């Protein structure tokens, strides 16, 4: 094979989801044995790009992609991940794809088990009745494990493994494939302990020396600096920098990731002096066990009447904060609201005492999809605050007041410009943006003193986004509602918040006024500070 | 010291894991004492019941392996087997050839029913058991339609197994032609206990088949599908097809099992024999220490012995204890349903607990990372 | 252009109607209609048939109504109905044992039923909360286990009313006990209307209407609304401050009590209390009736109950007589088994409902 032919060459790849451009003119190439670091904020387009390379069905189902890519000089046209596997691409996803009651070996060779000679029955009924050859399977598995160079017990059940070993099992599975040449690792270190992560980085280097190319996606920049040869930085669907490891530094990467040289950094410039405002909620040492978004030790004071932003990368725990306080996931610590101690793990108490929550999980938590808008908007207020009810027999029976319900719903439909056929329409029939407005209406109907909103603009179109943010601002200004807004979109936070707390590893990394520059936030977010410190320590 | 503590803990978990079988050993023991049966009588009865029921119970194993729970749809196979028996009785084919022919007739019917049942169960993932249970009722309706109305009118049947009105099969069909022909094929009697050796050989062959099947590619795929359908699918295993095959195998085996069962009984209750088979087989398996998602051959034999021991002695024990045989009969029915209920509840609760533990483990792992 | 749109929308509406109604229901409704149309050919009086259907409606409708609360709260189809029926059996037999007669015996029976229904329903509800997701299979076996346990109890409990116990030994309840002299036809004969061949059991219908009204009203209260929301999306309900487990338990209690009252209404018309294995298969007809009426595994309404019971009982009454008179064969049992279980299968396999 010609040494000059790159293992992977991506030419002009672009992709849109129904008009929403998520990838534009992606061009890059990789040599044999190269490790390519891929960084970028959430939503920068990394996952979509990987899905294209891996031939995921989702891409074809949403209209395919533009441009092309070449493996060893041959154009690749994958119709399913199996084509990608055949072509020598392996991918390890963030979520483990392992069978708990199978051993390491069984998982590594899953559906590629070695078979013994066929028996009479398999001649008649097909080769699925061949007996499998455990010895050969074990040999192959051990071979793959050795290639990876880690200490992995081939007979251990996955359910008994520490997290790191699961990760290694997944990688071994990819390595055990014949002709494996490009390995995609999607945030493999996110769930690992520090020592496990070290081991992984070492094995990656070993693999690359063995001629396997690796695309490494991570948020931890020091890891990138440690192992990568080249670094691609993505932002808003384009590659903003293609850097050489030896000629760059963490600050430069950080800047490329978040630093958009846009019109004067769109911070909130209303310049309210919130320092003088009294505290309305005091959160001390909060912990929340929300899988994937664990909060460890979170403390902050929320000022009365402010809009507090909470940002941070995915998985760092920012979503756990409102979910924990509002009683949706087990939580502990001390939270005081208006001098009363908040009863944790008790949604009823929270709502009755003037808290409200717009969940990030609209369909799962936020809505009664099968019920009418009327129900969706008024249900919570009805149950927690006895609104929209008519007492019968001196209050013995609390009858639903259909008229009041309709009036309230129509009021919010008008106010928030919810597009629907009537207040009787089912919530599932609305578009994402309108569903989000219904969730807001539900919260407003509670007339809360403090409102948590979690990812209010996730997955909704631009028009609805502006409306939702506007409605929040208005509630804050006109009704004096204190708002705590959790979002992955820094720019969105900066546009409406007074100050923004950045969460890393379940703790406050820092609090900055919204007018601070993107770089400052970026540095907090990717804990570049930490990483730098570490490097100097070394 | 530490070893002692550990073994103590081990004994505790052993007791907990084997709660049901231990309970039945106790019940059975008490029952034996009060029933007043001699050892030989009980041994004889147990031999008969073991040979009669084991094959049917084994047919439940493969769907459990594929994660589809207890296949209450095994009654479909039982009905197919009965149709085979009706035909050989009509044609007057007796003895082992009759049984073989009945099995041959039942096979395509079982395959068809099993395939359809598997298809339906693929539409009802997550509630396979209740669906297979209702499928049993539904197909029972079809079976009655065929046997009670089509046989003799559309399907040519002439012999005296027809109802006097000229179509439809009688309520009981005498299987004198094949009665105990397998059980008595190789006569063996040890210390007054007659052992149906040929039947046991057949059951042993089936066990070998099951053990071999677990080692095949298909068996491995079923175990994979049973653990996590999505992971199996990502690995390229045809999940739906694999699930359907597991139901087909179970249905076909249940058909053969029913034929063996009825050759021992000697009479076919055309409209009743199959109805309770699913329940009794499931209960026996669970009594043997199996759960909805884990079962093996040891559970089958232990379960059949313990369950049927209880079943056999309960009425007599009831009679001798309270002077009411009926009481013992109701007791054994209650225990059968009770044990299934208990097993289902324990299974669902464990599933929930595991989900919770997963979250806690994650939290723990993250704490350690810190 | 506009016309085209109108036409296509009419088409879509019809299609939407069929989709939402479901083809099995249409087949069953069509079949029943056909039976009524051909009935005169066999010399069957339509009016008598209607009377029969109405009588059976009065007997069975409350047991079908008992399905509603549990479906609303997301516990699925109540295959554990026999548990409720047992509380009704206890109510009926105890009332007779205590020596109440006539209308009073019926009232006392209801009171005792409510007591036991609440007790059993509470325990049953607590159990079902522990097995969320697997309710239906476990409900089935809880019902069976309860029935077989009560078989033992019927033998052992110290009943002594000579109308109820076995004559030859003086203990143990009989398999069937006549309600004559107690509450036989207490509802059916109340304000009964008789016009020629047409008989309307007004009392029984009013009795059902009363409970249907209570159910309707309950679903319009705050608690009823919460119950529906719990069934629709338990996480949403939790986030709104609802105690999901308690709401589910309440629904199970309601279902169980209604099942008990349902069997009392059945007994007064039927004339007998059926003990022992009597309640064993009583859940399936009620389940399929409400499904035939248009309910699904997680949605049900009062009209579903009424339509479903009428259709189901219509088939049960009409098929034997029509079949017998036309083709001199009684295929009705077979048709009933296939239709009712087919309906349940259809509901269980609907994709949108499989969670």
Q: Do A53 and A184 fall into the same domain?
A: yes
Band of residue A309 on the pLDDT scale cut at 50, 70, 90: very high
Mean pLDDT on B199-207: 95
In the block, residue with structure tokens 């992955």: A488
Band of residue B56 on the pLDDT scale cut at 50, 70, 90: very high
- Print the domain residue range for A426: 274-514
Question: Could you tell me if residue A241 is inside a domain?
Answer: yes
Most B CBs within 10 Å, among A111, A170, A177, A195, to test the B interface: A111
Question: Could you tell me if residue A528 is inside a domain?
Answer: no
Residue pLDDT, tens place only, A169-196: 999 998 888 888 899 998 888 777 778 8
What is the number of structural domains in chain A?
A: 3
B348 at the C interface (CB within 8 A)?
A: yes
Collapsing DSSP to helix, strand or coil, C273 comes out as strand
Mean pLDDT on B116-132: 91
Question: In 3D, which of B69, B124, B234 has the Cα closest to residue A99?
Answer: B234
Q: Do A294 and A429 fall into the same domain?
A: yes
From A349, A370, A383, residue closest to C240, measured CB to CB: A383
B331 at the C interface (CB within 8 A)?
A: yes
* A-to-B residue pairs, Cβ atoms closer than 8 angstroms: 76
A96 at the C interface (CB within 8 A)?
A: no
- The helix, strand and coil proportions of chain C, stated in percent and rounded to the nearest 5, come to 70, 5, 25
Residue pLDDT, tens place only, C71-98: 999 998 999 999 999 999 999 999 999 9
The string over B142-171, giving b where at least 16 C-beta atoms fall within 10 Å of a residue's C-beta and e elsewhere, is bbbebbbbebbeeeebeeebbeeeebbbee
Cβ(B196)–Cβ(B47) below 8 Å: yes
* CB–CB contact B216 A98 (8 Å): no
Position C254 pLDDT exceeds 90:
yes
Chain B contacts of C341, Cβ < 8 Å? 134, 137-138, 141
Q: Name which residue leads in pLDDT, C53 or B2.
A: C53
B41 at the C interface (CB within 8 A)?
A: no
C345 at the B interface (CB within 8 A)?
A: yes
Q: What span, in angstroms and rounded, lies between the C-alpha atoms of B284 and B306?
A: 8
* Residue-range domain boundaries for chain B: 42-295
Q: What span, in angstroms and rounded, lies between the C-alpha atoms of C309 and A314?
A: 53
Collect all residues with Cβ–Cβ distance below 8 Å to C5 and sequence separation of at least 6. none
Position C128 pLDDT exceeds 70:
yes
DSSP letter string, C286-344: HHHHHHHTT-BTTB--HHHHHHHHHHHHHHHHHHHHHHHHHHS---HHHHHHHHHHHHH
Band of residue C354 on the pLDDT scale cut at 50, 70, 90: very low
Question: Could you tell me if residue A266 is inside a domain?
Answer: no
Q: Do A304 and A435 fall into the same domain?
A: yes
Among A213, A230, A261, identify where a domain stops.
A261
Q: What span, in angstroms and rounded, lies between the C-alpha atoms of A169 and A171?
A: 5
Residue pLDDT, tens place only, A253-278: 877 776 554 433 455 556 677 778 88
* CB–CB contact C221 A370 (8 Å): no
Q: Do A144 and A224 fall into the same domain?
A: no
Mean pLDDT on B180-194: 87
* CB–CB contact C138 B120 (8 Å): no
B127 at the C interface (CB within 8 A)?
A: yes
- Looking at CA atoms only, how far is residue C80 from chain B in angstroms? 12
Chain C contacts of B344, Cβ < 8 Å? 131, 134, 137-138, 141
Band of residue A536 on the pLDDT scale cut at 50, 70, 90: very low
Question: In 3D, which of C82, C185, C189, C87 has the Cα closest to residue C140?
Answer: C82
Question: Could you tell me if residue A486 is inside a domain?
Answer: yes
Question: Could you tell me if residue A499 is inside a domain?
Answer: yes
For residue B249, give both structure tokens: 């195998």
Cβ(C326)–Cβ(C41) below 8 Å: yes
Q: Name which residue leads in pLDDT, B225 or A275.
A: B225
Q: Do A428 and A394 fall into the same domain?
A: yes
Question: In 3D, which of A42, B348, A84 has the Cα closest to residue C137?
Answer: B348
Least confident of A478-492, B236-250, B255-269: A478-492
Q: Do A155 and A240 fall into the same domain?
A: no
State phi, psi for B59 to the nearest 5 degrees: -65, -15
CATH class, domain B42-295, is: mainly alpha
Collapsing DSSP to helix, strand or coil, C165 comes out as strand
Collect all residues with Cβ–Cβ distance below 8 Å to C314 and sequence separation of at least 6. C32, C35, C53
* CB–CB contact B144 C333 (8 Å): yes
Chain B contacts of A130, Cβ < 8 Å? 216-217
CA dihedral (C249, C254, C255, C261) positive or negative: positive
Q: What span, in angstroms and rounded, lies between the C-alpha atoms of A440 and A443?
A: 5
DSSP letter string, A341-402: E--TT-HHHHHHTTEEEE-S-IIIII--TTSBHHHHHHHHHHHHH-TTEEEETTTTEEEE-H
Band of residue B6 on the pLDDT scale cut at 50, 70, 90: low
DSSP letter string, A491-521: HHHHHH-SEEEEEETTEEEEEEETTS-HHHH
Among A238, A261, A284, identify where a domain stops.
A261
Q: What span, in angstroms and rounded, lies between the C-alpha atoms of C202 and C256?
A: 25
C8 at the A interface (CB within 8 A)?
A: no
Q: Which chains touch B (3 or more CB pairs under 8 A)?
A: A, C
| Residue A243 confidence (pLDDT) | 84
Mean pLDDT on B234-251: 94
State phi, psi for A132 to the nearest 5 degrees: -90, 150
Q: Which chains touch C (3 or more CB pairs under 8 A)?
A: A, B
| Residue C244 confidence (pLDDT) | 93
Cβ(A386)–Cβ(A395) below 8 Å: no
Position A485 pLDDT exceeds 90:
yes
From B144, B337, B344, residue closest to C137, measured CB to CB: B344
The Cβ of residue B361 has, within 10 Å, a number of other Cβ atoms equal to 14
DSSP state of A278: P
Band of residue A486 on the pLDDT scale cut at 50, 70, 90: very high
* CB–CB contact A291 B362 (8 Å): yes
Residue pLDDT, tens place only, C185-220: 888 888 888 888 888 888 999 999 999 999 999 999
| Residue B362 confidence (pLDDT) | 52
Band of residue A251 on the pLDDT scale cut at 50, 70, 90: confident
Cβ burial, residue A483 (10 Å; 0-12/13-18/19+)? buried
Question: Could you tell me if residue A83 is inside a domain?
Answer: yes
Mean pLDDT of chain A: 85
Cβ burial, residue B6 (10 Å; 0-12/13-18/19+)? exposed
Residue pLDDT, tens place only, A423-439: 889 988 888 888 999 99
A80 at the B interface (CB within 8 A)?
A: no
CA distances to A375, C58, C79, C255, C315 from C308, rounded to whole Å, are 27, 13, 17, 17, 11
- Looking at CA atoms only, how far is residue C257 from chain A in angstroms? 20
What CATH number is given to the structural domain containing A305? 3.40.50.300
Residue pLDDT, tens place only, A437-450: 999 999 999 999 99
* CB–CB contact C348 B141 (8 Å): no
Mean pLDDT on B52-80: 94
- Looking at CA atoms only, how far is residue A370 from chain C in angstroms? 7
Q: Do A80 and A229 fall into the same domain?
A: yes
């Amino acid at each position: 094979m010609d040494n000059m032919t790159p293992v992977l060459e991506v030419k002009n790849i672009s992709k849109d989801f129904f008009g929403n451009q998520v990838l534009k003119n992606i061009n890059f190439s990789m040599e044999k044995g190269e490790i390519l670091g891929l960084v970028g904020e959430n939503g920068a387009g990394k996952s979509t790009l990987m899905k294209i390379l891996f031939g995921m069905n989702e891409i074809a189902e949403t209209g395919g992609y533009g441009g092309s890519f070449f493996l060893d000089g041959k154009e690749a046209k994958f119709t399913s991940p199996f084509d990608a596997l055949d072509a020598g691409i392996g991918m390890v996803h963030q979520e483990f794809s392992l069978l708990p009651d199978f051993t390491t070996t069984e998982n590594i060779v899953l559906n590629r088990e070695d078979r013994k000679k066929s028996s009479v029955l398999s001649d008649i009924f097909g080769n699925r009745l061949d007996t499998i050859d455990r010895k050969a399977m074990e040999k192959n598995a051990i071979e793959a494990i050795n290639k990876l160079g880690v200490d992995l017990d081939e007979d251990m059940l996955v359910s008994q493994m520490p997290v790191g070993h699961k990760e290694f099992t997944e990688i071994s599975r990819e390595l055990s494939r014949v002709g494996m040449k490009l390995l995609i690792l999607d945030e493999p270190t996110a769930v690992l302990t520090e020592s496990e992560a070290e081991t992984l980085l070492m094995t990656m280097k070993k693999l690359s020396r063995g001629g396997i190319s690796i695309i490494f996606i991570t948020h931890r920049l020091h890891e990138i600096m440690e192992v990568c040869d080249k670094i691609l930085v993505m932002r808003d669907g384009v590659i903003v920098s293609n850097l050489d490891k030896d000629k760059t530094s963490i600050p430069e990467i950080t800047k490329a990731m978040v630093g958009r040289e846009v019109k004067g950094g769109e911070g909130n410039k209303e310049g309210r002096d919130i320092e003088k405002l009294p505290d309305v909620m005091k959160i001390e040492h909060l912990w929340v066990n929300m899988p994937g978004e664990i909060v460890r030790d979170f403390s902050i004071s929320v000022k009365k009447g402010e809009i507090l932003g909470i940002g941070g990368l995915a998985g760092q725990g920012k979503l756990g904060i409102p979910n924990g306080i509002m009683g949706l996931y087990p939580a502990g610590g001390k939270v005081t609201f208006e001098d009363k101690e908040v009863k944790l793990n008790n949604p009823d108490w929270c709502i009755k005492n003037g808290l409200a929550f717009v969940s990030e999980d609209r369909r799962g938590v936020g809505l009664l999809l099968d019920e009418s808008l009327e129900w969706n908007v008024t249900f919570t207020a009805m149950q927690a605050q006895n609104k929209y009810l008519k007492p019968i027999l001196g209050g013995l029976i609390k009858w639903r007041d259909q008229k009041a319900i309709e009036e309230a719903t129509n009021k919010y439909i008008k106010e928030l410009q919810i597009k629907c056929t009537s207040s009787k329409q089912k919530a599932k029939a609305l578009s994402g943006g309108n569903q989000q407005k219904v969730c807001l209406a539900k919260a407003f109907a509670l007339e809360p003193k403090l409102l948590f909103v979690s990812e209010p603009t996730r997955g909704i179109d631009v028009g609805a986004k502006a409306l939702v943010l506007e409605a929040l601002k208005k509630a804050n200004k006109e009704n004096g509602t204190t708002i705590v807004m959790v979002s992955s979109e820094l720019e969105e936070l900066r546009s409406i918040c007074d100050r923004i707390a950045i969460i890393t590893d379940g703790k406050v990394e820092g609090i900055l006024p919204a007018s601070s520059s993107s770089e400052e936030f970026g540095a907090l977010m990717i804990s570049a500070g930490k990483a730098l410190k570490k490097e100097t320590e070394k | 010291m530490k070893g002692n503590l550990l073994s103590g803990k081990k004994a505790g978990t052993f007791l907990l894991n084997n709660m049901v079988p231990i309970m039945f050993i106790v019940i059975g023991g008490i029952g034996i004492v009060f029933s007043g049966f001699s050892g030989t009588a009980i041994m004889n009865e147990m031999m008969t019941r073991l040979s009669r029921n084991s094959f049917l119970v084994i047919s439940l194993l493969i769907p459990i392996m594929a994660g589809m729970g207890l296949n209450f749809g095994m009654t479909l196979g039982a009905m197919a087997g009965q149709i085979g028996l009706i035909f050989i009785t009509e044609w007057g084919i007796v003895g082992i050839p009759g049984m073989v022919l009945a099995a041959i007739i039942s096979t395509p019917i079982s395959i068809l029913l099993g395939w359809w049942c598997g298809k339906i169960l693929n539409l009802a993932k997550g509630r396979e058991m209740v669906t297979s249970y209702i499928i049993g009722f539904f197909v029972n309706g079809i079976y009655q339609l065929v046997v009670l109305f089509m046989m003799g009118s559309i399907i040519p049947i002439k012999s005296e197994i027809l109802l006097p009105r000229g179509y439809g099969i009688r309520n009981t069909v005498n299987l004198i032609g094949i009665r105990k022909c397998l059980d008595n094929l190789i006569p063996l009697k040890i210390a007054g206990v007659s052992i149906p050796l040929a039947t046991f050989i057949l059951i042993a062959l089936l066990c070998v088949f099951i053990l071999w099947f677990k080692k095949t590619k298909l068996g491995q795929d079923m175990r994979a599908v049973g653990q996590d359908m999505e992971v199996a699918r990502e690995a390229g295993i045809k999940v739906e097809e694999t699930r359907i095959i597991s139901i087909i195998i179970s249905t076909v085996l249940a058909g053969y099992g029913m034929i063996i069962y009825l050759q021992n009984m000697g009479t076919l209750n055309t409209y009743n024999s199959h109805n309770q088979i699913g329940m009794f087989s499931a209960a026996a398996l669970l009594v043997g220490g199996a759960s909805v998602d884990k079962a093996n051959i040891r559970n089958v034999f232990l379960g059949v012995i313990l369950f049927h021991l209880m079943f056999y002695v309960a009425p007599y024990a009831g009679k001798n204890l309270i002077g009411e045989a009926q009481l013992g009969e109701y007791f054994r029915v209650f225990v059968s349903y009770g044990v299934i209920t208990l097993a289902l509840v324990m299974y669902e609760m464990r599933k929930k607990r595991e989900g919770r533990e997963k979250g806690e483990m994650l939290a723990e792992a993250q704490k350690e990372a810190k | 252009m506009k016309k085209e749109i109108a036409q296509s929308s009419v088409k879509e509406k019809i299609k939407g109607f069929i989709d939402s109604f479901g083809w099995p229901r249409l087949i069953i409704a069509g079949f029943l209609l056909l039976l009524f149309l051909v009935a005169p050919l066999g010399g069957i009086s339509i009016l008598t048939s209607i009377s029969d259907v109405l009588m059976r409606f009065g007997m069975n409708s409350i047991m079908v109504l008992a399905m509603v609360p549990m479906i609303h709260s997301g516990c699925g189809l109540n295959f554990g109905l026999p548990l409720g029926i047992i509380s009704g059996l206890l109510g009926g037999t105890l009332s007779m044992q205590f020596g109440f007669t006539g209308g009073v015996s019926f009232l006392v029976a209801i009171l005792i039923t409510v007591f036991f229904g609440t007790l059993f329903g509470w325990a049953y509800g607590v159990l079902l909360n522990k097995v969320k997701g697997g309710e239906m299979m476990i409900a089935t076996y809880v019902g069976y286990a309860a029935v077989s346990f009560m078989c033992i109890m019927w033998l052992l409990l110290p009943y002594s009313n000579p109308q109820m116990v076995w004559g030859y030994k003086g203990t143990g309840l009989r398999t069937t006990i006549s309600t004559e002299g107690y509450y036989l036809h207490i509802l059916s004969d109340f304000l009964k209307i008789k016009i020629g061949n047409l008989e309307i059991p007004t009392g029984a219908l009013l009795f059902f209407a009363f409970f249907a009204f209570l159910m309707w009203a309950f679903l319009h209260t705050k608690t009823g609304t919460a119950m529906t929301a719990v069934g629709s999306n338990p996480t949403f309900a939790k986030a709104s401050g609802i105690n999901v487990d308690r709401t589910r338990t309440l629904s199970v209690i309601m279902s169980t009590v209604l099942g008990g009252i349902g069997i009392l209404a059945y007994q007064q018309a039927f004339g007998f209390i059926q003990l022992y294995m009597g309640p064993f298969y009583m859940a399936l007809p009620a389940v399929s009736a409400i499904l035939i009426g248009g309910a699904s595994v997680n949605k049900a309404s009062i009209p579903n109950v009424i339509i479903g019971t009428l259709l189901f009982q219509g088939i049960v009454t009409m098929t034997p007589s029509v079949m017998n008179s036309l083709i001199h064969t009684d295929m009705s049992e077979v048709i009933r088994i296939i239709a009712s279980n087919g309906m349940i299968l259809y509901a269980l396999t609907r994709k949108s409902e499989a969670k």
